[in-house]
Amino acid sequence: MTATRVDGRTHDQLREVTIERGWSKQAEGSALISFGQTRVLCTASFTNGVPRWLSGKGSGWVTAEYSMLPRATNSRSDRESVKGKIGGRTHEISRLIGRSMRAIIDLKALGENTVVLDCDVLQADGGTRTAAITGAYVALADAVEWAREKKFIGQRSVPLVDSVAAVSVGIIDGEPMVDLAYTEDVRAETDMNVVATGRGLFVEVQGTAERAPFDRRELDSLLDLALSGTDRLAAVQREVLGLPADS
Amino acid sequence: MTATRVDGRTHDQLREVTIERGWSKQAEGSALISFGQTRVLCTASFTNGVPRWLSGKGSGWVTAEYSMLPRATNSRSDRESVKGKIGGRTHEISRLIGRSMRAIIDLKALGENTVVLDCDVLQADGGTRTAAITGAYVALADAVEWAREKKFIGQRSVPLVDSVAAVSVGIIDGEPMVDLAYTEDVRAETDMNVVATGRGLFVEVQGTAERAPFDRRELDSLLDLALSGTDRLAAVQREVLGLPADS
Amino acid sequence: MTATRVDGRTHDQLREVTIERGWSKQAEGSALISFGQTRVLCTASFTNGVPRWLSGKGSGWVTAEYSMLPRATNSRSDRESVKGKIGGRTHEISRLIGRSMRAIIDLKALGENTVVLDCDVLQADGGTRTAAITGAYVALADAVEWAREKKFIGQRSVPLVDSVAAVSVGIIDGEPMVDLAYTEDVRAETDMNVVATGRGLFVEVQGTAERAPFDRRELDSLLDLALSGTDRLAAVQREVLGLPADS
Amino acid sequence: MTATRVDGRTHDQLREVTIERGWSKQAEGSALISFGQTRVLCTASFTNGVPRWLSGKGSGWVTAEYSMLPRATNSRSDRESVKGKIGGRTHEISRLIGRSMRAIIDLKALGENTVVLDCDVLQADGGTRTAAITGAYVALADAVEWAREKKFIGQRSVPLVDSVAAVSVGIIDGEPMVDLAYTEDVRAETDMNVVATGRGLFVEVQGTAERAPFDRRELDSLLDLALSGTDRLAAVQREVLGLPADS
Amino acid sequence: MTATRVDGRTHDQLREVTIERGWSKQAEGSALISFGQTRVLCTASFTNGVPRWLSGKGSGWVTAEYSMLPRATNSRSDRESVKGKIGGRTHEISRLIGRSMRAIIDLKALGENTVVLDCDVLQADGGTRTAAITGAYVALADAVEWAREKKFIGQRSVPLVDSVAAVSVGIIDGEPMVDLAYTEDVRAETDMNVVATGRGLFVEVQGTAERAPFDRRELDSLLDLALSGTDRLAAVQREVLGLPADS
Amino acid sequence: MTATRVDGRTHDQLREVTIERGWSKQAEGSALISFGQTRVLCTASFTNGVPRWLSGKGSGWVTAEYSMLPRATNSRSDRESVKGKIGGRTHEISRLIGRSMRAIIDLKALGENTVVLDCDVLQADGGTRTAAITGAYVALADAVEWAREKKFIGQRSVPLVDSVAAVSVGIIDGEPMVDLAYTEDVRAETDMNVVATGRGLFVEVQGTAERAPFDRRELDSLLDLALSGTDRLAAVQREVLGLPADS
């Protein structure tokens, strides 16, 4: 495993990660996150009240919507609003982001409030869903703080019980690699997205054999790489949020 | 791990599996599969030609659509045709079935032909997507044989390079279990669907923390259970298709 | 009128009719009905309450939805959920089934409850709408009994004031015939669907000149054939429901 | 049967019928038809070519679309364009008008040309579908003449082999009546629409028990009334088109 | 500016304007308006109550929907109901008509009531939106009077504080002209729609450079022409409504 | 006119304008434009070929799509992709941007190529459509240059015959003001958007009386203010594009 990648990274190296916290003046929490050339604007909208099916149960709700600008990619795609329907991929990723956020929030502690995370991909170069999850957490954390200041949630409530981040891993030419850029992603035999908490627990593991089914040993090495990546992302999140490095 | 389940099964025991091959007189391949009370009608429609984006490349295409009858479940759901749009869950499962089939078929050997798998859940009691994948493989195998007899594919072509089946696993009250029925599924802390080939290779691994993030050890035990389940399902498939037990 | 048909039937002979009562474990009433190769799964969903426009009037509601699986027919059709809209034929048949059920139920006696009949064609070989109506009645009857046992309707209420069944008739090569199979249906000059009650009264008469307008004498002979067919179907329904033959 | 109706008509008397031929300056054929207060604008659009599925078969096509202005009725309805989907009733009537026109046209004689009939209800007072069919025939006849003058169809071709008209009949308080106005329609126990040719042959017979199933004798008397009504409408059509009274 | 136009008009002359007040027997107010060959049926539907977002504020609401029959134009267009969505042009004009009506009505004086204006183009020859606005005002005025008679609004309330009418102007071959017919409209370098009140105040000014940007002097001459046109239309409206000529 | 505004501007002063040219690495041309807190990402996608209706005429095409992120505004709006249809306002603005670009491009000189401008509002504080037009021109200019370098258009072709920019003006408390921020926009009695070329010619003038109709004198003063604003914006565009100040 000594080969370097197109952009000079080693197989276990993330692309440069930047998180511009509070990018939006309108949202209760927001982050413009970059994984290399991939840029996702994440906003968190906090509102009082919950969807009808949850009403009166003393519990909050967190959901997410993912979308890509038509020219985020190398060639332009039609807008889903123009097509009049949302594609399967968009649905899938929106649901993944929502589940990831709900995995680390105590909905009871949130009270009967709703947070909607909007993750809009402004520029895409692979890893848009993992960047979206990683950025959404920062926006969510700020929205929760905003709500605490506004006294919409109790001063002692601790809705966020852990942090969450995500990274892609894949096997290219037989070799496991982390944080695939677009040109790597299309070449990967196997592609896996792993969502994990700051404490190193799994929230989601989604592995897909794109070209060839994979064996247990390969799966294990991908999981190792992924946890090391999410660990690094958790450190970046803590730094951006001004939290102690080892919280 | 000595506890028995509501229906008397042990933690590593599948529900009764039955596959009624050739249930439909109209389709080129079909199977009515049951995992306990879950019943899915799988049909395979073989047509000459491929979608435009694949045309002229000498390669075939396999895709799938999953749907649930409105009263397959305990309370009636609105039809997606009436709502005018397909939900995220339906999209997700349709895509999963399609990818699972493509993982074990050599699209070049299929020639410029298309197979559409329709998996319609007639009755649901958990595990509809895994039953759908397991049944769809049988329908697909029959459609490929039909096409060989009709000489739409060469006599020596071997499009199916392996078989494929799927099973759910989950952690309930801290204990890993296989092939969750609906009442078990709603209680599971972690839920995973594993798609694997007859040779024991992974095609898809989709694990989700429904209630609590899971650690590496739990993940490992779930993967063990799952592979043992798909192995058993592969045996049933071989038997139904009249293939040797150890093929 | 001595000619026999492709499948050996005489001009006034129905195809084999089977009704598998209680096929679904989830619905309050259900029937898997076959008219020859045509197979329709009918479920009845009973719920308390009525649509808003009927609320507070002391009257119940019965409605129906008809649909065909994409590969019920000889070549696959696109799903209406994928197309995002319901076709005119589907609408027409759904409305016909609903009206047919409402013709024999006393909505006041049903109380403020709703029954939705779902008729899903699993396999189609002509006469899907008539099979659907005939099967839906059995599902409806069971749902009403279920509601009586659950005390959702009074023990002395008699919502079902008659039974209902339907059959197709048509003129082929100048000769009137009953219960057309698909290959007969496409050849018919005139095609008529007749819905009638167990007492022999008309609920719906829908005759269409497919190839040539028809005269009054032809219409009369079609009506004769149809009433004899629905009479036979009413007998099958009574038998399946365990009712006296001449009720 | 001596009772008179609300508007003073006898049970077998049509409302005043007027047909303003050529109302539209844009369409190849058009008619603004009134059955009493019911007013429908019918236009016929003639274009060269046929839908793809019919292409190259030497045959033409005739189809129809029916719609109602939102305030044609006593209270305003939402537009189907705003709702984003066409209702079942609209679909049903559009299909009925199309079949009625195709029943009296020789599509081979029409050549590979298409006529679309648009029937838009400007004001509704019962019988909108029967007025639409009766008016559409006049628009169709003019479009065919226009095409003959433009030499899009041969000088000796006779596409129209008969005329077609439609009328409603129903049973009110046990008495059969023809051409129901809206207030009569809502009171009718049984409602039937009959489409018949100028020669007195049936094209469509659609009878529905709205309140109570009907017997054979009632059906017979409704059919008698209906044929007498369509006969009268055929005479009006001939007069408007300047054809001999007994053609 | 001595050139005459195709139809013999001078550059500042409107086409013949006719307004058939009360054309619809169903609506609370209605007008069939013609600007030459352009004919628009405008109906006003008055209902008690307002949309939810306005509820309880003591204020009424006026809105509008514009649509064109499929064969209003020289070649047939697909129905928006069939396409399942409303086009941008339709949206734009509907909104324009609604704003124009709201500009001259005192919504407080209307009370918590809603008026919906439906403007359906029966025949189109340019200027459909301006005819629609001019006719909608007449329908609105009659609906307000109807409501006053029914005592849905107070006897002393004066909801209509002014009248409103609209006209198109454009530059053709360098020369400004008023009320463009379709063939003029397609040739215009610049096209402007002006909505003005009976008192000569602007409600909307929408000028578009279709072929060449225009300068301030041209804009000024278009505005002069437009105000003279709306002044003439206001006189026609007053006459039709039986109001004094100089009200 | 000595009053200053909330943010300290004089009545004829624009908010701070910044244009980040080439913000997107994927698009052929792009600009992130800010008018104060309003931020719009404009991308230009250049492709060979034109829509079918324009094919073979030797002319190119330029079109635009406008959209707003759900949380661009102070409270979150539903996505149009989720609602399944595009609202009237979105349609209107998309069409306005497209017309504005086409007003200053010579489509013949563009050759049979298409440019799609996507204007996505990342943050909204009034004036989003005017910022979108102003930024879209910069993206368009860069895409045209890109195409020239790629030799998709001739070296001597000059597709862009002028520049284009837009600004809002309105009357607040009787006083005309330029470039309204959101809080000003909602208070304006009259609101006008003016699109003008670098040479000072009008492309679009859209004035709307939001609260009170306006007279000719007010219209004139708004037009004066607007042209002074677009003149200033043209200077910023030239500077960003590296063109001489007085081109």
CA C87, distance to chain mean position in Å, is: 19
pLDDT(C246) > 70: no
Q: Other C-beta atoms within 10 Å of E115: how many? A: 25
pLDDT tens per residue across span C122-153: 999 999 999 999 999 999 999 999 999 999 99
Interface test with F, best of A37, A40, A66, A69 (most F CBs within 10 A): A69
CB-based contact C80 B81, cutoff 8 Å: yes
Taking the CA of residue E40 and the nearest CA in chain D, the distance in Å comes to: 11
CB-based contact F84 A79, cutoff 8 Å: no
- For residue D81, which residues of chain E lie inside 8 Å, CB to CB? 67, 79-81, 83, 85-86, 90
**Residues C117, C133: Cα–Cα separation, whole Å:** 10
- Residue C83: φ, ψ to 5°: -70, -20
Q: What is the pLDDT of residue B1?
A: 46
CB-based contact A76 F116, cutoff 8 Å: yes
CB-based contact A95 B92, cutoff 8 Å: yes
Q: Which residue of A has its CA nearest to F121?
A: A69
CB-based contact E95 F92, cutoff 8 Å: yes
pLDDT(B4) > 80: no
Residue C10 labeled ligand binder: no
Local structure of E72: helix, strand or coil: coil
How deeply is A245 buried, as exposed, middle or buried, from its count of CB atoms within 10 A (0-12, 13-18, 19+)?
exposed
F170 near F184, Cβ under 8 Å? yes
Q: Tell me F109's DSSP state.
A: H
Interface test with A, best of B102, B208, B211 (most A CBs within 10 A): B208
Cross-chain CB nearest to B202 (options A162, A202, A207): A207
Residue D127 labeled ligand binder: yes
Interface test with B, best of A201, A206, A222, A228 (most B CBs within 10 A): A201
Residues 6 or more apart whose CB falls under 8 angstroms from that of D227 comprise C216, D194, D196, D200
**Residues E4, C62: Cα–Cα separation, whole Å:** 67
CB-based contact A25 F123, cutoff 8 Å: yes
Q: What is the pLDDT of residue B39?
A: 97
Q: What is the pLDDT of residue D15?
A: 97
**Residues A175, D106: Cα–Cα separation, whole Å:** 70
Taking the CA of residue B8 and the nearest CA in chain A, the distance in Å comes to: 30
Distances (CA, A) of D51 to C1, C205, C206, D54: 40, 31, 28, 6
What the block records as the tokens of E220 is 């000024």
Angle at B108 between CA B102 and CA B110, to 5 degrees: 75
Q: Which residue of E has its CA nearest to F193?
A: E206
CB-based contact A65 F70, cutoff 8 Å: yes
Size of interface C-D (CB pairs under 8 A): 96
Size of interface A-B (CB pairs under 8 A): 97
Better pLDDT: C84 or F246 = C84
> For B105-118, what is the mean pLDDT?
96
- For residue E207, which residues of chain F lie inside 8 Å, CB to CB? 202, 204-206
Q: Other C-beta atoms within 10 Å of C187: how many? A: 14
pLDDT tens per residue across span A9-64: 999 999 999 999 999 999 999 999 999 999 999 999 999 999 999 999 999 999 99
**Residues C72, C79: Cα–Cα separation, whole Å:** 11
On average, the pLDDT of chain A sits at 94
As annotated, the binding site of F for phosphate includes 89, 127-129
Chain A residues with CB under 8 Å of a chain B CB are 85-89, 91-92, 94-95, 99, 103-104, 162, 192, 196-197, 199-209, 213-216, 219, 223, 227
Q: Other C-beta atoms within 10 Å of D86: how many? A: 23
- For residue E25, which residues of chain D lie inside 8 Å, CB to CB? 37, 123
Can you list the residues of chain F whose pLDDT is less than 50? 1
Taking each helix axis from N to C terminus, what angle separates E216-240 and E128-149, rounded to the nearest 10 degrees?
Answer: 40
Half-sphere exposure of A114 (CA within 13 A, CB side): 14
CB-based contact A92 B95, cutoff 8 Å: yes
- For residue E24, which residues of chain D lie inside 8 Å, CB to CB? 71, 122-123
Subunits close to A (at least 3 CB pairs below 8 A):
B, F
CB-based contact C71 B37, cutoff 8 Å: no
Local structure of F128: helix, strand or coil: helix
DSSP per-residue codes, A185-209: HTT-SEEEEEEEETTS-EEEEEEEE
- For residue A99, which residues of chain B lie inside 8 Å, CB to CB? 208-209
Cross-chain CB nearest to B91 (options A88, A162, A223): A88
Size of interface A-F (CB pairs under 8 A): 92
- For residue C70, which residues of chain B lie inside 8 Å, CB to CB? 43, 45, 65, 116, 118
C33 near C40, Cβ under 8 Å? yes
CB-based contact E216 F209, cutoff 8 Å: no
> For C199-207, what is the mean pLDDT?
96
Taking the CA of residue C113 and the nearest CA in chain B, the distance in Å comes to: 15
**Choice among A84-88, B87-91, B143-147, F237-241 with the minimum mean pLDDT:** A84-88
Chain C residues with CB under 8 Å of a chain B CB are 24-27, 30, 37, 41, 43, 45, 47, 65, 67, 69-76, 79-86, 90, 116, 118, 120, 122-124
CB-based contact A84 F82, cutoff 8 Å: no
pLDDT tens per residue across span C107-116: 999 999 999 9
CB-based contact C80 B76, cutoff 8 Å: no
F189 near F214, Cβ under 8 Å? yes
CB-based contact C92 D95, cutoff 8 Å: yes
Can you list the residues of chain E whose pLDDT is less than 70? 1-3, 246-247
ipTM: 0.93
Chain F residues with CB under 8 Å of a chain A CB are 24-27, 30, 37, 41, 43, 45, 47, 65, 67, 69-76, 79-86, 90, 116, 118, 120, 122-124
Taking the CA of residue B210 and the nearest CA in chain A, the distance in Å comes to: 7
Residue type, D82: V
Can you list the residues of chain D whose pLDDT is less than 70? 1-3, 246-247
Interface test with C, best of D85, D208, D215 (most C CBs within 10 A): D208
On average, the pLDDT of chain C sits at 94
Better pLDDT: E116 or C87 = E116
Residue type, F215: D
> For C180-206, what is the mean pLDDT?
95
